[in-house]
Amino acid sequence: MSQDASRRCLEELDVVGARRVWAHVAPHLPQPKTDSETLVTMHMVRTISESMPFNLRAYSHRWLLDHNYPSQLPDHLKPKAERIYPKIVTAVGISVNGPAYMKDVLTTVRLSMEDAVNDCYADGKTEPEFVRARMKEAREKVLKHVGRTGR
């Protein structure tokens, strides 16, 4: 197996191929235990490698940061990489309005909607339609309870 095989695996993020190449080239060195460990390592190597095309280095820089791993991209290249692959920040807005005498109920509604959003994000389900539906269910559940009990 050649250097070309290693480079191809890095460029294509071929995890299975990379593990095979590493086992063949360096069987005496520690081997990655999982595909995910291999993938992280490959992204780190891509950010370090000056021979790698910049767009691949920039993509791996963003991937590492998004997955809470340190990027090895040199500091002077980070601004350019972050223009190509900016960090995407999501937000959820919750607005609950009503008359002042319902302040306690409205606060309960808002808190239940916040809990629903937090549960969605904790489960990794961040699609807007999914989150919106869970928020609506939480709101309706509180309002239904209030309707039954009067408070």
In this predicted structure, the answer to whether residue 3 has a pLDDT above a threshold of 90 is no
Q: Scanning the structure block, which residue is given the tokens 């807005």?
A: 93
Question: Please, are residues 106 and 98 in contact by the beta-carbon 8 Å criterion?
Answer: yes
pLDDT at 89: 80
- Kindly report, residue by residue over 125-150, the tens digit of the pLDDT: 989 999 999 999 999 999 898 776 65
Predicted TM-score of the model (pTM): 0.63
pLDDT at 149: 66
Cα–Cα distance list, 41 to 29, 133, 139 (Å): 14, 38, 44
Mean pLDDT to the nearest integer, 44-73:
96
Which residue would you say has higher pLDDT here, 138 or 2? 138
Q: Scanning the structure block, which residue is given the tokens 């239904």?
A: 144
- Kindly report, residue by residue over 68-101, the tens digit of the pLDDT: 999 999 999 999 999 999 988 888 999 999 999 9
